Each structure stands twice: as structure tokens, then as C-alpha cells.
Amino acid sequence: MPSRAEVAYFGAGPAPLPTPVIEASARAFVNFEDTGLSLAEISHRSPTANKILADAKQALTTLYDIPDDYDIFFMQAGGTGEFSAACQNLVGCWIEQRRRKAVADLGEGKDDEVLARVKKEIENELKVDYLVTGSWSLKASQEATRLLGAKYVNVALDARKSDGNNKFGKIPAETDWKLTPKGSALTYMCDNETVDGVEFPSFPKSLEENDRIVVADMSSNFMSKKLDVSKYGVIFGGAQKNLGITGITVVIIRKSLLGLVPPPTFLHQLSDVLPTSGALPPIMFSFSTIAANNSLYNTLPVFNLYVATLVLQSLVTKFKTVSGQEEVADQKAKLIYDTLDSYPDLYHVVPDKNVRSRMNICVRIIAGKSEGKVTPDDAKEKTFLAGAEKRNLLGLKGHRSVGGIRISNYNAVPVENVQKLVEWLNEFAKSG
């Protein structure tokens, strides 16, 4: 059996963790700081749990320089749960803004007139915008359609339509996007598409217009690059890529959004124009509820949070800010892409060069190219994966929906493991 040090793991998630974090977490799971209790056993409302929570928030604030007018909290249900939560909460914010404006214009006690006006505005103006650049943003848009109905969902960009083969791999020019002209309840983007290997190279300029409330899923590139947090309304990410283990989701949110919660009774009265599920989240998906209770409305998995806290604190100790980790991520990605590009007749990187993910490198081993199209060689891919496994290079098989090879270059993958993979890529290419 190989030791941990002998294995280079490139799985897409759950992802590798720094070995010191694993070792410290193992001790805490058995006996946390000589208390005689596992960290999985202590109360989520204890001083110990509250300190872990505070430490996590402090480290995040330091790494991302999060402004004072933003809140940080932790939820459950992963990024997929946030597909629903973000949609429901922000549609609720939009409705509450309209309700308050109607009350201000029409006066108190005009409940029927206020209701009629908001209903009309919902029918004529409510939209949620989705930038569909890969499998995860597609799922997010489909969830919005399930909750709200297709009428209210605007797919402002479907990247598959920019390619003749109806596959993801490009992000069309912003001039081709069909954003709701006067703004929407939210504009959703998946900053890095884990399945398809597509990453936004920078924050889109068109999203800085019309006071758009940008919701970014950063599950798979969280803590890997610098951010101007002030450009986003909501940033969320499942922990199991760059932050920790499954079971928690981090949310960074503009505080002003937390106060815009419509009365449930008002939402019930809108049911003939908008499904109640569209703007009334379950209590555990209510951003305002979770924030008001400091992530402790229900039993927060403290051990899972502790793992993330150790990861965050290690980044602070090593780099001070996230820009240091960004440099390492870029270095590793360059090593891999430069090697793949050296053998264009064997390795075909799936996405366009200008949107290549630094975290999830999707590649096919090909039999040849003809008229711009590539022919994957399944037999060679199986041989490559078998050879990689013999060398303890694990987790390289592509997602079941697209096949091929996927190299996940998360933060805890050390440079030396990338170098081992590069050696195998070179050896395989030269073996004929």
C-alpha cells in the first residue's frame, strides 16, 4: 500500500487537503485539545465552536479583504443547495424592494393597491439572468426555472450555442450576451465550471452596469485568485474543493440584501402570478435567518468547519492574502498546459485557450484532427489512465458526462505532484 506522500491525487472533489490539516483534524476528531472529547461531539453553541466560527470568518476576511458591509456565514447542502437559496432569497429581495416602493408611493393602508401594483411589476419586469457556461450553471438555470417558471428566467448566455457542436468550451463576447436591459433580481455566473474546464478570466465588464446583483458560484476556484468582493452581491462555494470537506458551504453576502425580506403573507397573495416557492425559501435556506443566528440556527457541523478553518489559517500564515495562492495556482496550471500544448497531435485541451480553467484541466487524447474536429482515442485514454495509476497519479478520469481526462489542480495539490504528472505526460507522448 502506498503512503500518503507517495500518492498524487488530482480528483475533482472531494479534493485533496494539505497533509498537516489532515493530521491536525485527525487529532481533533479523537481528542480536541486534550478535552477528552471529539470535536464532532461538542455543542455547536459552545465557546469552542464559536471561536472556530470566528476564526474562520477572520481568516476569510483577511485573505479576501472583505469589506465591512459584507457578512460571512456557513450553510449546508453544498453549491447545489445554493442554486435554490440564491434564487429564492434574491427574488424575495426584488419583491420587497417593489413592495416598499409601492407603500411609499401609495401610502399606508392601501394594501390592495400595493398588491395589485407589485403583481403587475412581477408579470412585466421580474427576471433572473443566468450565464450558462457549463454543466453547473446549466443546472442552476434549470433550478430557477423549476422554482419560478420559465417566464421569469432569462438565459442571457448559453455558451453551447456559440459552438457548432453544441458543447461547452467557450465564453462568447459580452456583446453577444442578452442581459435584461434594466437589471434583474440577480445575475448568476459559475466562475469556474468543474466538469467542462471553463473559467471566467476576469470579472465581466457588462455586469458592472445597471447595479446588477451578481451571484457567483465559486465552489471550485474559491481561494485560488484575487477578488474585488464589492462587485458581487453573493459569493458562495461548497467546501470540498479548496476549502475543506463536504458538509458546509461558505456564503459571502452584501449586508443590505439581508434586510430585504418580504412578509410571507404578502408572498402567499402573489401565488396567482408567481409560485410561492420562488421567493419563500425553507427556513434553512433563508439568508437573513442564517446570518441573524451567526450560522447557528441549526446544528452546524463544527468538525467540518474546523477543517476549513485550518485550511484558511494556513493560507493566512503562508501568503497573508489570497494573491500568493493565486501565483502558485497559475504556476501549476502553466506547467500542465505548456506540456499539453507541446503535443498538439496527441493532447487536445477541450476549452478555448482564453477561458481555460486553472483548476480543472479537461483534455482528450486524440487519434487525429480533421477540419477543426478531433477524434478521441478511447483506447489510448484508458492506457494513459492505467499508466498513471501505476505511478500513483490518481483521480484523472474525466467526468462521466464528457469523458476524457480531467486534471484538478486545487490548492492542496503541491507543485511536486504536478511535476510528477508532467513527467508522465511527457513519457506517454514520447512512447508513441
**Nearest residue to 147 via CA among 75, 79, 216, 85:** 85
Distance CA 246, CA 239 (A): 6
Choose which CATH entry (1.20.1250.20, 2.102.10.10, 3.40.640.10, 3.40.50.11740) describes domain 55-304: 3.40.640.10
Q: Which three cell numbers stand for residue 141?
A: 438555470
Residue 46: partners with Cβ closer than 8 Å, 6 or more residues away: none
> Please, which pLDDT band fits residue 18 given cuts at 50, 70 and 90?
very high
Q: Which three cell numbers stand for residue 377?
A: 482515442
d(C-alpha 370, C-alpha 321), whole Å: 46
pLDDT band at 126, cuts 50/70/90? very high
Band (47; pLDDT cuts 50, 70, 90): very high
* Domain regions of the chain by residue span: 55-304, 322-430
CA 368 to chain centre: 34
The answer to whether the beta carbons of residues 242 and 236 sit under 8 Å apart is no
Contact 87, 144 (CB under 8 A): yes
pLDDT at 210: 84
**362, 351 Cβ separation under 8 angstroms:** yes
Question: Any idea what DSSP says for residue 156?
Answer: E
Specify the higher pLDDT residue, 326 or 161. 326
Average pLDDT over residues 99-111: 97
Distances (CA, A) of 65 to 61, 94, 307, 313: 5, 28, 21, 14
Q: Which three cell numbers stand for residue 427?
A: 513519457
Average pLDDT of the chain to the nearest whole number = 96
Q: Which CATH number does 322-430 carry?
A: 3.90.1150.10
DSSP single-letter state for residue 338: H
* Cα angle 106-112-117, degrees, rounded to a multiple of 5: 60
Single pTM value for the model: 0.96
- In this prediction, residue 369 has a pLDDT band, given cuts at 50, 70 and 90, of confident
pLDDT on residue 163: 67
